[in-house]
């Protein structure tokens, strides 16, 4: 692959970014039900901006079209939260062969959830307690009651309340 110095970041209207053909059907694996957060609309545009900085959309250009080869999840979330005309930063990877682009896309589909996913709703609740008010600008889930968090995560209220009681019994 070419070095990072050849990569270019451009602003692209969200509706102009397509999924690479070789993973078009496979990227459905990234639909909301497969991830912990079921209520993507609870994420703010400010949170999307942060996500795009931390996990950029990587793309190639073929036939005057821009195709995402990595960053499928953040692209999916952005399409739910932002308007289709919203410009998003896209890191273009010039000179990638089809095989290299396919490898990146499949690695994103497999490796990203494998190494970046959390164990469950309880972990998210613990992390949000540590993030405190800092996360309030990213989603109303940062400070909402546990019953709202459990609904947004598609988990039972009892599992989070049990976890919360267990933490209180063991101390701060």
Instruction: Look at the chain and report how many structural domains it folds into.
Output: 2
Give the mean pLDDT of 106-112: 82
Question: 108 and 130 in one domain?
Answer: no
Please give the helix or strand (H or E) that residue 156 lies within, else none: none
Same domain? For 34 and 75 the reply is yes
Reply yes or no on whether the pLDDT at 113 is more than 60.
yes
- Identify the pLDDT of residue 15: 95
Same domain, 112 and 128: no
Domain range for 153 is 121-170
The Cα 99–Cα 93 span in angstroms is 13
**Do 95 and 72 belong to one domain?**
yes
- Distance, CA of 172 to CA of 151 (rounded, Å): 25
Q: Do 165 and 100 share a domain, yes or no?
A: no
Q: Is the same domain home to 102 and 151?
A: no
Please say whether the beta carbons of 150 and 157 come within 8 A: yes
pLDDT of residue 2: 44
Same domain, 57 and 136: no
Q: Residue 3 — pLDDT band, cuts 50, 70, 90?
A: very low
For the segment 83-97, what is each residue's pLDDT rounded down to a tens digit?
999 999 999 999 899
- The residue ranking higher by pLDDT, 29 or 102, is 102
**CATH code of residue 40:** 3.90.1530
Give the residue, 19 or 31, on which the prediction is more confident: 19
What CA–CA distance (Å, rounded) separates 104 from 85? 26
Within this chain, do residues 24 and 104 fall inside the same structural domain, yes or no? yes
Structure confidence at residue 146 (pLDDT): 84
Q: What is the pLDDT of residue 161?
A: 60
Q: Mean pLDDT for the chain?
A: 81
User: Do 139 and 109 fall within a single domain?
Assistant: no
What's the confidence (pLDDT) of residue 112?
79
Asked if residue 130 and residue 54 are part of one domain, the reply reads no
Judge if 83 and 131 occupy the same domain. no
Asked whether residue 54 falls in the same domain as residue 111, the answer is: yes
How much is the pTM? 0.75
Q: What is the pLDDT of residues 133-161, one digit of tens each?
A: 778 888 888 888 888 888 888 888 787 76
pLDDT tens, position by position, 33-71: 556 677 788 889 999 999 999 989 999 999 899 999 999
């Amino acid at each position: 692959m070419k070095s990072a110095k050849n990569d270019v970041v451009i602003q692209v209207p969200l509706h102009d970014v397509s999924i690479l053909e070789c993973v078009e059907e496979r990227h459905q694996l990234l639909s909301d039900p497969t991830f912990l957060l079921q209520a993507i609309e609870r994420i703010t545009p400010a949170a999307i901006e942060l996500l795009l900085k931390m996990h950029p959309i990587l793309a190639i250009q073929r036939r005057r079209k821009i195709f995402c080869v990595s960053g499928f999840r953040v692209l999916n979330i952005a399409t739910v939260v932002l308007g289709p005309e919203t410009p998003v930063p896209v890191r273009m990877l010039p000179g990638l062969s089809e095989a290299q682009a396919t490898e990146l896309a499949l690695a994103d589909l497999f490796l990203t959830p494998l190494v970046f996913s959390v164990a469950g709703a309880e972990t998210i609740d613990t992390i949000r307690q540590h993030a405190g008010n800092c996360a309030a600008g990213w989603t109303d889930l940062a400070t909402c009651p546990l019953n709202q968090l459990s609904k947004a995560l598609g988990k039972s209220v009892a599992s989070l309340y049990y976890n919360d009681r267990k933490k209180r019994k063991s101390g701060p």
